[in-house]
A and B are shown apart, each in its own frame.
Chain A
Amino acid sequence: MSKYQYTERDVPALLGRRGFLKVIGLCAVAVVAAGAAITKLITSRNKVILDRQAGLYADDKRLQKMKLTSSHENDVCWQVYKDMNGKPVEGEMYKLNHTHYTPRSQLAMTEAEHHV
C-alpha cells in the first residue's frame, strides 16, 4: 500500500506552483489594463485637433451656401486694390503685402564669438 503525502514538496525554485500562478495572473491583469489605457490614449489622442478642424470646415460649408467659397469672391479684398489703385504682387501693394527673409546662420556668423 502506497502512502500519500498531502503537503507540497519543497521546491528549489524561487516560487512554488501557487505563487507562480499568482504572479502570472497579476502580470496578465497589468498587461490587459495597461493595454486598454494605451489604446484609449491613442484612439482619443487627435480628437481635439479633429474636432476643431471640423468646426472650421462647418464654417466653410456655411459660407459656401452664401456664395462665399473662394477668396476671389470677397469683394472687400478687391475694394482694397481699387481704393489703393494697385494690383496683386505689384508696386505699392507689393510693398505693403510682401516681405523678405533673413538667413539666420549668417546673422550668427557676423557677430560670432568663438571661445578659446
Chain B
Amino acid sequence: MNVVTFRPPQGCRGEDGPEYQGNFRKGELRGIIKINKDNCVGCDTCRKFCPVDAITGGLGSIHKIRDDACVSCGQCLSACPFGAIEQMSFVEDVLKVLDDPKKFVVAHPSPAVRVALAEEFGGQPGDLCTEQMLNAFEKAGFTVYDVNQTADQTILEEGTEFIKKVRYWCLGERSPEVNQMAHHPLPHFTSCCPGWVRNMEINFASAIPHVSTTKSPVQMGGALAKSWAAKHIWNKDPRDVVMVAVTPCTAKIYEASRPEFVDAWKWNVEHGYLPKDTPAFPDIDYSLTTRDIAELLRRKGINPLTMPKTHEVKTMEKYTGAGTIFGCSGGVMEAALRTAYAILSGEELKDPDIITVRGMNNSLVEATIPIPLKAQGGKIFELRVAVVNGALQDLHKVMKIINEDKDRWHFIEVMNCPGGCVNGGGQPLQGAGSAWLAPTTPLPVKL
C-alpha cells in the first residue's frame, strides 16, 4: 500500500501566528501526520498504536489527530489498514534544489534506511544495500554525509558526557572537568529519538535534566556539515550547502523545524565567516523519509538495486559498527557502552556484541554490565541499564519506577518506535500491525 503525501500547507510553521501556539513554538511544523477524513472508516486501529493517545475518535467514528499531543512518530500511519493517514513531504522542494546548480545538496542517510530502501524496489526487508544506495544518491546529484558517521560523533559526545556523569555522581569526583554535570543527574536518558524528546517535553518534563544534551546524529551532522565540513572538507559557502536528512522517521521532519537548530549559522556569524546580518538558516534544510527518497529516486528514473554493488568509501562516508547499529533498539546503548567501557577500563571489550542490551522484539530490556575501573585499580563498577523498546508499551512503567527510585538504572535508552528506527514511521509499509511487540493478543487491546 502506498502512503499518500502532501506538500507543507500554508501556515504549517505558524509563521503568521503568535510566538507560541498550543505547545508549538513559532517555526515548528505542525500537522505532519494527518488523517484524511474522507478515507477514515473508523476502524480504531490507529488509536491503539499511538504512544501518546493523540488520536480522538471511537469505533465507527472519523478519527482525528490532536497536534498538541502528537509526536509525529507515524506509527498510526504504518498501522492504518486503509491508507487513510497521510504524511507531509518535501520531495518537490528537494527536487527543485537538486536542479539548482548553485546549491551543494548533501544527502544525510540514517542507518535504518540502508536495510529498508530495497523494499521499495522489490527487495526483501533487511536487504542491506549501503553501496547501491550511496551510488544512487550520487547519481541523483547528492553528495553524501553519512549519518552513521555522525552517530559515531554522537557517541564521542554522549559517551564522554555519560562518563563525566558517572565520575561526578557515582565516583564522587569534583574537578572543573566534571563539575558541569552537577545539574545533570543520573539516570542518563538518550536523546537521539525525536519522538521520545517531544514526548518527554510534553509528558515527562521533570526528566529534562536527566536527558543527554547531546544532539541527535542527524542534527549534529547538520551543524557540523555547515561549519566543519563546509570549511575543512568541501570548501563551500555554508549558505549554499543544502542538508537533506534521509531518515526512517517522520518525527525527524518535526525535529528539523525546531527553532534552536541554527547552530551552524550562529557559529559562522560568531567567527566572522559570514556577515553579521546573514539571515538564519537551519542546520537541516529538509528531512525525507525512506519512502520519500524512494519516490524521489523513482521520479529521477533511478533504481538503486540496479546500481553497482561497489563503492569507494569517502571521508564523509566512513563509519563503524557502533554507528550502524543505532537503527536497532538497544543500538545506541550498545554503541555507547563499547566506547564507555574502553574509556573507563582502559581496554577494549573482548566481545563487542553486548547481546544482553539488544531490544530485538522485547518491549523492555534490563541488563547489568560489569566494568573494571582503571582509575580505581580494576574495581568492578556494575552499570545498570534499561532499554525501552517502543514508547507505547513500557515507557510509562519505566518513568513511574524512575519517579520512585532514581538509582534503579544509570543509563536508559528510549526509542519511540517498537524495534527502533528500523520500524520507524517513515519506512516502507509491510502490512499493518508489525509494531506490537511479542504479543499475547493479536491486537493491542486498549479499551
Binding site for B on A (CB under 8 A): 38, 41-42, 45-64, 68-78, 80, 83-84, 88-89, 92-93, 95-108, 110-111
- Interface residues contributed by chain B, number (CB under 8 Å): 100
Q: Is the CB of A103 within 8 A of B205?
A: yes
Given A41-B442, A99-B219, the answer on whether A71 and B155 have CB atoms closer than 8 Å is yes
Smallest CB separation, A19 vs chain B (Å)? 32
Given the contacts A71-B151, A97-B153, A52 and B115 also touching, CB distance less than 8 Å: yes
For the complex, give the distance between the alpha carbons of A21 and B18 in Å.
71
Whether B289 sits at the interface, judged by CB under 8 Å, is: no
Q: Provided the pairs A96-B264, A102-B25 are in contact, do residues A80 and B320 lie with their beta carbons within 8 angstroms?
A: no
Per the bound structure, the CA–CA distance linking A58 and B321 in Å amounts to 9
Q: A56-B324, A58-B128 are in contact. Are A71 and B422 (CB under 8 A)?
A: no
Contact with A along B7-33 (1 / 0, CB 8 A): 000000000001111111100000000
Q: Decide: A97 and B214 in contact? CB cutoff 8 A.
A: yes
Is A104 within 8 A of B23, CB to CB? Answer: yes
A59 pairs with B439, CB closer than 8 A: no
User: Using a CB-CB cutoff of 8 Å, which residues 290-347 of chain B contact chain A?
Assistant: 315-316, 318-325, 327-329, 331, 335, 338-339, 342-343
State which of A50, A58, A62, A107 has its C-beta within 8 Å of the C-beta of B360: A50
A103 partner, pick from B126, B149, B208, beta carbons under 8 A: B208
Contact B21 A111 (CB under 8 A): yes
B322 close to A70 (CB less than 8 A): yes
The reply to whether B228 and A69 contact each other, CB–CB distance below 8 Å, is no
Interface residue B266 (Cβ < 8 Å from any Cβ of A): yes
B39 close to chain A: CB less than 8 A: no
B433: CB under 8 A from chain A? yes
In the complex, chain B residues whose CB is within 8 Å of the CB of A89: 157, 160-161, 164, 180
Known interface pairs A72-B342, A83-B232, A88-B160; A61-B321 also in contact (CB < 8 Å): yes
Contacts A46-B419, A76-B149 given; indicate if A69 touches B157 (C-beta within 8 A): no
Task: Return the chain A residue nearest B438 by Cβ.
Answer: A46
Contact between A99 and B361, CB atoms less than 8 A apart: no
Cβ contact within 8 Å between B338 and A69: yes
Q: Which residue of A lies closest to B283 (CB)?
A: A96
CB of B437 within 8 A of CB of A55, answer no
Chain B residues lying within 8 Å of A97, measured Cβ to Cβ, are 153-154, 157, 214-215, 220, 223-224
Chain A residue numbers with a CB within 8 Å of B116 are: 52
Contact of B263 among A52, A59, A72, A96 (CB under 8 A): A96
Asked whether B348 is an interface residue with its Cβ less than 8 Å from the other chain, the reply is yes
Q: What residues of chain A lie closer than 8 Å to B264, measured between beta carbons?
A: 96
Contact between B23 and A107 (Cβ–Cβ < 8 Å)?
Answer: yes
In addition to A64-B321, A88-B160, A107-B25, 5 A-B residue pairs with Cβ atoms within 8 Å of each other are A49-B437, A60-B321, A71-B338, A102-B25, A104-B205
